Structure 1
Amino acid sequence: MVFRYNYVTSDIGHVQTKGRSRAKFNGKIFVIVNSDLQLQDRELKNIIRVEMMNKVVKSIADSTLVNQKAFDDRILMEQKNDQKERQREKDRARITKANKVEKSGVVLHCIKCFKESCCLDDIRSIRNQHHVVTSDLFLDKMKLIDLKKQPIIDGFTHQQKIHCGNCQHKWGTMVVYQQQELPLIAIKNFTLKDDKGKKWFPKAWKDVPFVISSIDMDDLGKQNNFSEAENPEGSQQEKGEIEEDDGLIEYPNIMQIEE
């Protein structure tokens, strides 16, 4: 048997878990969830999605028996269309990058409460994908909440969640990169405003119309203040998190999934 404790993945993970349990544990999975986490609904949706997927796969398999050549031609056409769309996306991204301009005096404000957070000049990009704040003044504007788990994603160790110190809106994650702690932020959580009052509301970093410098060793050398910073509220428990010393906890919601 497989027991999952307060852990629900996507429908893909659902299928993978069932495959492993079928091979080793006779196809039985138990999902134990805390009612406050609302994970039971997510698992039920995964079950529905898997059932829909199985019906679609069966329908496709049946269609190949009717006319194999027509099916192959349709697949080839879809692949070519998908390839063309990906190329158009690359072309648009290249044009957008070429049109970016250098600009100073742009300030990031919290998207929820519009509190000033940092300047665009203090942001550096890592591998043209991830964006971090290099100014230690940013520490005074944010609140840190410890993560129960500290996953390593794309070379970054995620340690704490970063929230607005004023309205608690999530800004990003405190990560460790090359042995330095850095605030990794998502631009969708901020509004850009220049010294003339013009505003931008980008959904992704690629939508920011300004040039952002890449991080270098000098920038990493400035980050010692982040490592030494203390979070007075870091010990607060988030809703849904379970401390190790909580004692006996009853879980009324136990789901069993069988083949």
Structure 2
Amino acid sequence: MIVLLPPSETKAAGGTGAPLSTASLGFPGLAVGRSRALAALDRLVAEGQDTSTPAKARAAADNAAVRSAPTMPAIERYTGVLYDALGAAELPAAARAWVDDHVVIQSALLGFVRASDPIPAYKVSEHSKLPGERMRDLWSGAGDAIEGFALDLRSKAYAALAPVPGAEPVEIVSPEGKALNHWNKAGKGALVRWLALAGVQAETADALLEWAASASVPLTRAERGLRLVVQDPRLVGAG
């Protein structure tokens, strides 16, 4: 089973790993797209970036140093609501190993990367304008690299950018069946945490739903894909 996650706009600074080596990343079939994206980012840096605020200045500095900056595992680089709820850094060793083996994150700059792949900080999203490239041209075929059963927790924008054939999307709803915004991300992170702590090995959606029923996780079939009910928006007791 592969769990597909979106990236986050916010990223942890620093790192202790060697500078980016695309040859060390998972999914080597994405090498051409990565090379093109990095070359386009080089052109963006050369043209000059907006540094009018402290946040924009930091983003510009991250982009300028993307080839030389220290790296850290992707699952630790990305921050924010989803990744806070997942809490990879606090997981027991076995659960963290599960995350490294099963979680794949979609990067607008590097395509799909494994949770353990060492990456630098950068500021590129699906909305970024990279000189001479279009995001859809870079990554429209990247989903073919994902094999086997995939649980799709990506946003609609990232799922459209790199469709993964046969992936099972998950919608996050309240007990009343209403779609959630902020807590959508927290619910996704909590679900991955549950999966990791349980060490779930499911090769089909039906097998995953059997586990969910046995573990009292409110994951069920939906009209399209699966549905997770977030009963407590604070996710108290999520593992």
With the shorter chain as reference, the TM-score category is under 0.3
Question: Who wins on radius of gyration, i.e. which is larger?
Answer: 1
TM-score by length of 2: 0.23
> Which structure has more strand as a fraction of its residues?
1
